[in-house]
Structure 1
């Protein structure tokens, strides 16, 4: 009879053997049978990764175009190493199939990582659960709902304008617009989502604001090991994991109180109902949940809180970044800045539009929506500086992906337009959001130039139905996982610009170069001062103190 020591040794041998077999299969055997192996694409040493070339903005803006010229619109690159084949495609037929099909999901590791902060909200679920949640949150982001929120955006922008007036001394002042706009969009989101005033414009001390801000700021600082192995946060929590957990406790304690208060204003009786007059997203979310046709299924209070956390994370930060980039591009192009200021200075533009009366709500939104240059500047900013650089999908089963452009395989065979390429279960697909927004065959040769006028005469390929992205942009994606709050973002950006631009001019500080850095979102920093973190300093001057032209 074998001794316990012998059994232990055999167990260790078996575990090591299985581990070695897994490694050999991962590195050698499995890649030999991967259909992506036959696709054209860049080569590299065995453990070389192309990920930096794909996600680093210093390379990606030109790297995508170089690969397209050399390999066509659909190719593969190496992820973790030569053994890790990943698909990238600029073929809009293939992109549409991938983003519309339930076969392709966000990677589990991404969803698990986000769920440590956001819970099981709209951005961390897939399949039937995601479909159900999207149905519930839909009314909160409908066009009429966004129209009622526009005066909130305008009033918050006016608060920011007044605060900057206090700060700016003499003729001009250098302001980190990214920091200040982030505070302002948080206030706007607080009022729009919860009817809750963080007063972040006036000071960054409110407990709930601090909790949200700390949790979101720490998201970019998680090490790769803890992202890949999230269970470490439970087994051996570091200071980041502890800080995130403490922030979530504050958010949930306050959130439960707000939900309870909001529910008390919504009376539901059999056969009749009295609906609250509140128009914040939380109230609309609760109403949609209560009046859901599927009476057997509703979102619990923790589920509602997860949705709110998701809204703040995906909405406040991304809108702040987009607004900051728009001010940066306008500072780079003073002639466009002047033209936009003139458009916004029209006497009928926004007289009393920030009023909360219902007669003014639609008017404020409609006026902002009718300004062609404002619309073009917002869309051009979102094209050139998408908050999310790219997104990944994983095939949950073997599939055939249709293509509309020919592909010459490494064995010399050609996949003709209308044909298919094979992909196997577990393969990773990179959807190049920035790359599609920069594609020369879609946007013309000057694609890297900030040129808002391109939106007045888009080429046919950039128009529906040829280009399936929301608002003609890949920035918001499309399909089941498209951004539900795209109208919210566009409306808020327009509202802030309409208030700020008539009062201030923006210019680049002498000798300063702004670069992009990708984490969860694409953030700005000053080249040569990356150690100072995210910032976008601009020289701000009151319009009435500028020299006459």
Structure 2
């Protein structure tokens, strides 16, 4: 945080007693078991956000069950949920479990008033506009783009390798690839990231979450203070931050300004050049005509449209790049699985001498099992934050033991209760995924009977794409993109781990790879790469 924010911390100190009393009113989870807190001020929040991703909550789930309590700042109690029935219930309640206020404010600072910020009727309105652009049918039309961009990446890697085996930071290249794909696919805009033509924007993206990873104690306490206060105090803090921004605030504001500037130019150009945009279903046409729609349930104002475009740019590339990088990391440790994918690739190629189709990718059981296992095992958003908007009783799929030793099958919650969805823990529940749920095993998806599972997730029943009305609107686009990219990279290259490299899973906006003892070097996924030619 910037030195100027010390004044805000004086306010925090003066308000400490009031905040503590406020949170004590919300300590309604004493009947649940949970880990003891080391600190009354910080609870578990500092440890949870600074530990390697998906370690503490997974350990707690194993010890206390699929629903338990953890300690928030100032004595708050947080409901931690990994139970599939409980998650299904909450997702089916739609907007009755909104995002926490601090999450909503962060999205607004970063992306503006887009779909990730929106709640309730606003979110429903945004989703109605975006859904047609990312339908399964519409996504299939992007396949040639996925293939062509990946072919460009392949050519650059082969030129760099020159027949040798060398270390490539695959995360950096995948981030460039997916940025080029989302730019051309969504907006017919060439970022030129693979050609190093987007240096300014690439630098903004590369450093965007530098101050978000591993937040300090002061940052966590300030967020909790602001979260607990009435909205007008939060607004006052935001106003103060516009004049004395933290490093994170400045990075977020810079990204929003830059991305909305690109969006404004693209929108104007599209409306001037395309006479028939009113009838098209591509995302740019849908957004361009939204402000002129008479139906208030579908209409968006200009700022919402620009915010939507900023959201698509960021969410449409960062998440997919991270997911593919984690899959390549696991394959690099397992040459036998690479060989199995290669056999599928060779078989598909022998049957098809033209351009591959979505049906060709869907016909590859092991490739798709690897994608599902990658999304399961490396949930790039392992924690999601919600608040209960109503008094409710949440059912459980299996009984848990209360703090008094009783067996309970449901959990009552009060309106305002803060909840964390432990997506990473759910994705590794033995009750859902089998006894080896905590191990990498793509073959599980070749034999898993999902009809016996409680239906929760959008793809492979994992929750990496979330679910319900706030499930990822672009998941069809993302899955086909991953299929195409992995097919071509596995067809052209062999991957292995460099000696002595230990990759850590670090939480930023999404779970990213960093090298142990070299965190100062930033996000990296170095893999030994060899051309198959």
TM-score range relative to shorter protein:
0.7 to 0.9
Partner of 1:535: 524
Name structure 1 gaps, 5 residues minimum. 1-14, 354-362, 545-549
CA distance in 2, matches of 1:543, 1:490: 25
Q: How does 1:34-433 map to 2 (within 5 A)?
A: 34-45=27-38, 47=40, 49-51=43-45, 54-55=48-49, 58=52, 60-61=54-55, 63-64=56-57, 66-80=59-73, 83-101=75-93, 102-205=95-198, 208-211=201-204, 215=208, 220=213, 224=219, 229-238=237-246, 240-267=248-275, 275-276=279-280, 280-286=282-288, 289=290, 294=295, 297-346=298-347, 347-348=349-350, 351-353=353-355, 364-415=357-408, 417=409, 420-433=410-423
Contact 2:211/2:247, CA 8 A, preserved across alignment: no
Flag the 1:399–1:511 CA change in 2: closer, same or farther, 3 A: same
Flag the 1:435–1:70 CA change in 2: closer, same or farther, 3 A: closer
Partner of 2:25: 30
Displacement, 1:41? 2.0
SS at match of 1:511: coil
Displacement, 1:498? 1.2
Contact 1:187/1:198, CA 8 A, preserved across alignment: yes
Question: Is the aligned partner of 1:514 residue 2:514?
Answer: no
Contact 2:400/2:407, CA 8 A, preserved across alignment: yes
Question: Is the aligned partner of 1:467 residue 2:450?
Answer: no
Partner of 2:473: 484
Displacement, 1:256? 1.4
CA distance in 2, matches of 1:387, 1:75: 22
Aligned length: 504
CA distance in 1, matches of 2:509, 2:259: 21
Name structure 2 gaps, 5 residues minimum. 1-10, 227-236
Displacement, 1:45? 4.7
Displacement, 1:431? 0.5
Partner of 1:360: none
Partner of 1:359: none
CA distance in 2, matches of 1:377, 1:90: 23
SS at match of 1:133: helix
Question: Is the aligned partner of 1:500 residue 2:500?
Answer: no
CA distance in 2, matches of 1:20, 1:250: 38
Partner of 1:5: none
Displacement, 1:251? 2.5
Q: TM-score, normalised by structure 2?
A: 0.86
SS at match of 1:387: coil
CA distance in 2, matches of 1:542, 1:436: 37
Contact 1:395/1:427, CA 8 A, preserved across alignment: yes
CA distance in 2, matches of 1:533, 1:323: 18
Contact 2:165/2:528, CA 8 A, preserved across alignment: yes
SS at match of 1:501: helix
SS at match of 2:439: coil
SS at match of 2:397: coil
Flag the 1:134–1:23 CA change in 2: closer, same or farther, 3 A: closer
Higher mean Cα deviation, 290-299 or 89-98? 290-299
Contact 1:65/1:439, CA 8 A, preserved across alignment: no
SS at match of 1:430: strand
The two structures, once aligned, show a CA RMSD in angstroms of 2.9
Flag the 1:217–1:121 CA change in 2: closer, same or farther, 3 A: farther
Flag the 1:24–1:116 CA change in 2: closer, same or farther, 3 A: closer
